[in-house]
A and B are shown apart, each in its own frame.
With several copies, the nearest count.
Chain A
């Protein structure tokens, strides 16, 4: 696994973009200006970026209600995302979708999804089309530990296996589905074995370690592109915020998040690794941090200043023709 200086810079930049984006949304949400349900991805950045760095223009991803990180990973415009979250006319979805439905099909991002388990069947379809049209494309289905028990997800795994579709099933196990522990909800407690039960090879990785995710994702996606059929990855980490904004997280033992933040943070871990290895320098990373903070400041300011959708938008975009 060779990661060039550019790759590393890119990885760090994108992970940091997610982090700053999410922390800022968290802060702004608390002021009451962001409407609806918002689920933050902070703490899970290594997954979106470690996986999406393997992808290109012919590839697709399906996402979840916790979709901001995947959007950024797949190259969605950050300004358009923020405007969407604020419900603005210029948002990625004209303000009609919001946080739970951000999408940019032109970027291969088939949507955050308000339905747990909604994405994996869609990913199978995108993969089937890629295979049939011989585009060389791969589809990644990101889904949570909770979604791993949903029939739609399980059916999709079987379907992909039977047709040996180029789908990468990425289980983002952040320990909880809402307030329910994944240790409890996943019968058998062995996701990799479950995937094998559908004929899909996979492995488990530590999601705090970008390099581990990157390596595993690369190997899996290489196998898929070589015609090896669907692959599975179980990524373990934690989320830093509540299930959604407003969740007091009393179901978590005191200190759980602090401990993860202090000792297992994927960004700190990345920084330590690249600086101690002499691959990137602290001041370059600091500069990236400053740039991103500025960028996100600007997206928030722009989003706040942006116009809401016009009344006439209510009834457009239902059909192509009707």
Chain B
């Protein structure tokens, strides 16, 4: 156990799995870095440095830097998975899925079903997402609702370094295609993280905080913000349960429904664009299955229906923050 950043936690997870299982390989643009160049190899270790140090340990037979051709190498990850490997491929920013979406959505996601259960495609696609770094409209999207929508994919969104490590190890061991979302604004967050290998099951929510007044379900970076809001609300004697689903597909509906049965009030915090996102998904599930329990309207805290703006002043308004969450939760608790 020691303090580790989100980046370090991911690095450790990938290293430990590559040590344990020789069929795990890595692919991606500058995933090591320096390919074909005359200077340092492993110069980048991916764009934010999470895979740095793996190249010296595992060599170019396990770590494949790729040309910029996401369709080719994401598709190759699927093809390699069918032929006995367990690739961890990086789609650098999830915003780029538009150039390779077919290999994810129509190929790896559907093999098993289309082939009558006779294919297994153990691929992990790691990908950066989320706003907060002034990276503007094409490098700040969440887009996990798109992948959650597609049957055949699993969608994992860790909310802390501890979660990141355990979920990454489990994702690599999982036999289905997993899209693993890493919030770029959380890379420097630190946490107590065990040194040894451990797994966190996919499809099991984490209840970060228990309170009887209201249930907050939050995704990814919004979990931290929701806990901050809950702490502030605790001072006003409002007791919040904060649920981190960890994975949006599968979704642990039981834990959410159980909590709503107790609190009768639900706020969902989702950094994704508001239409057809995970907040609407969970809201609809609860509205359908826990109608009798509800004492107040289900409220969603999300960005507006706009691309992500560049200027910091606008981006800060765009992303949900603890103060906004707190305000909405207060309203929900006061609702009669």
Contact = CB atoms under 8 A, between A and B. Distances in A.
Interface of A: 35-37, 60, 62, 87-88, 91-98, 100-101, 103-106, 110-111, 113-118, 120-130, 132-133, 137, 139, 146-147, 149-152, 155-156, 158-159, 162-163, 176-187, 248-254, 256, 308-309, 311, 313-322
Given A101-B115, A149-B69, A319 B81 contact: no
Interface stretch (B9-17, B96-104, B228-236): B96-104
Nearest to A100: B136
Kindly list the 4 A-B residue pairs having the minimum CB-CB distance in the complex, ordered from nearest. Answer: A125-B79, A121-B75, A184-B36, A94-B116
A36 B64 contact: no
B39 A253 contact: yes
Nearest to B304: A315
Contacts of B307: 96, 318
Contacts of B119: 103, 105
Contact of B313 (A181, A185, A253, A311): A311
Contact of B71 (A36, A116, A152, A249): A152
B138 interface: yes
Contacts of B76: 121-122, 124-125, 128, 156, 159
A250 B34 CA distance: 8
A125 B77 contact: yes
Contact of A117 (B78, B99, B154, B317): B99
A201 B71 CA distance: 22
A91 B118 CA distance: 12
A93 B67 contact: no
B114 A184 contact: no
Nearest to A149: B67
A318 B72 CA distance: 24
Contacts of A316: 117
Contacts of B62: 132
B43 interface: yes
Interface residues of B, number: 85
B184 to A, nearest CB: 11
B39 A251 contact: yes
B47 interface: yes
B134 interface: yes
B19 interface: no
Nearest to A106: B118
A124 B75 contact: yes
Given A159-B69, A180-B35, A122 B79 contact: yes
A98 B115 CA distance: 9
Contacts of B78: 121-122, 125
B328 to A, nearest CB: 18
Nearest to B38: A253
Given A87-B312, A121-B107, A321-B175, 13 more contacts: A93-B115, A93-B310, A98-B310, A125-B79, A129-B79, A133-B83, A155-B69, A156-B71, A159-B72, A309-B314, A314-B317, A315-B305, A318-B305
A176 B83 CA distance: 32
A87 B311 contact: yes
A163 B79 CA distance: 15
Given A126-B83, A311-B317, A320-B176, A152 B136 contact: no
Given A97-B136, A158-B72, A320 B85 contact: no
A114 B136 contact: yes
Contacts of B137: 96-97, 101, 114
A152 B30 contact: no
Highest count of chain A CB atoms <10 Å: which of B37, B106, B152, B312: B37
B30 A35 contact: no
B44 interface: yes
B35 A185 contact: yes
A131 B43 CA distance: 25
A118 B138 CA distance: 11
A171 to B, nearest CB: 13
